Amino acid sequence: MARVWFVLTTWATLWSLLQVPGGMYSWHYFATGAGALSRLGSAGGGLHVYAVHPELQMGPLALLSAITITAAGGSASAALGALVMTALGLMSIWLLVAAAGSVRGQPPSPRSTLLVGLPLMPVWAVLSVHYGHLDDALAMSLTTAALCALIRDRPWLATMLVAAAGAAKPWALPFALILLAHPVNRARRVSAFVALSALAWMPFLLADPSTLQRLGSFVITNAPDSALRALGIQAATTPPWDRAAQLCFAAAFALWCVRIGRPVAVPAIALAVRLLLDPGTYPYYTASLLLAVTCVDLLQRWYRSVPWLTLSVATWFIFSITVATELPAAVVGTSRAIFLAGLIAYLTMYGAGRNEFPWGAHRTRHRQPVET
């Protein structure tokens, strides 16, 4: 496996370097947020940061992380940020491969590891280097770690990790429904998640009550090729009900996945719903979805040697940045809606009732028989 990780690291480095020209396109948001948050006590700074800068649609954990990274200063901070985010992608694959061994009794083969890693890292480089979205990278890597902790029968660690993911990016909050899949101390863990989430956001809300209203008022352009337009929503910008609808529908479908025994599909289904109802079509959105479906491919018990979900989403990404650019926007939006709706249908129907991991089974396999 050492050779596999050398290949994946080299592959990730290559694609990251290819994204350097014009890279870290959105890093200025994190530099702005980190600078404002660190100015405690100043007008428009400190805990007033979200009220003054509603365009900062990332969570407090992302801003705190950005403060550490931007301390390097100038272009060095952007390079360090790209390095950290690229490492998070590789770390997520490593965690998934290790956790997959707990689900099925043996880790994926080197071939299977390459089949998920080789498509993922070029797309991840779009997120980590071209756009530089630290919040998305943190949210998905923390969620991946939470899934792996849950599979390894560490529900409290999973609770803290998924709360941290929500504190990095608000759209990760529906991912918390994976906590319902583990039967031990379910109510206490959900309460702990709520308390941790409130702890992350409450200081900002108490310091400036207009924070929530200001954040909710931020809108983006409804792209001509968005799935939202294909669904008939022709508003020029984000409809006022859209963010709430994304969270509600994502939570509903995620809860269904838990109910049918597919908790590893929760992040993927929540992200697919979000993209279906989102007015934006930025390519880096696909990186989070791709890692989420990779979780499904590697962590489901009825694993197949070919990770079809990972390859399907990667193929869609290639289509969206090549062939789709030559097609009418309405056609691209319709194809986007069909693809995402099909993915949602697959995740909510295929394998229903086939519980993916009986809790503690991996420990039982290695338990020594008791002499009588």
Domain spans in the chain, listed from the N-terminal domain onward: 7-352
**Confidence band of 369 (pLDDT split at 50, 70, 90):** very low
- Exposure string over 309-345, b if 16+ CB within 10 A, otherwise e: bbbbbbebbebbeeebeeeeeeebbbbbbebbbebbe
**pTM to 2 decimal places:** 0.93
- The greatest distance separating any two alpha carbons of the chain, rounded to the nearest whole angstrom, comes to 74
Quickly state the pLDDT bin for 358 (edges 50, 70, 90): low
**What torsion, rounded to 10 degrees, do the Cα atoms 79, 85, 91, 95 define?**
170
Q: Tell me the two tokens of residue 106.
A: 């043996």
pLDDT > 90: percent of the chain: 81
CA angle 357-360-363, nearest 5°?
Answer: 120
Q: How far apart are CA 254 and CA 270, in angstroms?
A: 6
Which band of pLDDT confidence, cut at 50, 70 and 90, is reported for residue 107? confident
Query: Which amino acid appears at position 177 of this protein?
Result: L
State residue 277 phi and psi, 5-degree precision: -105, 10
Indicate the burial class of 153 (C-beta count within 10 angstroms; 0-12, 13-18, 19 or more): middle
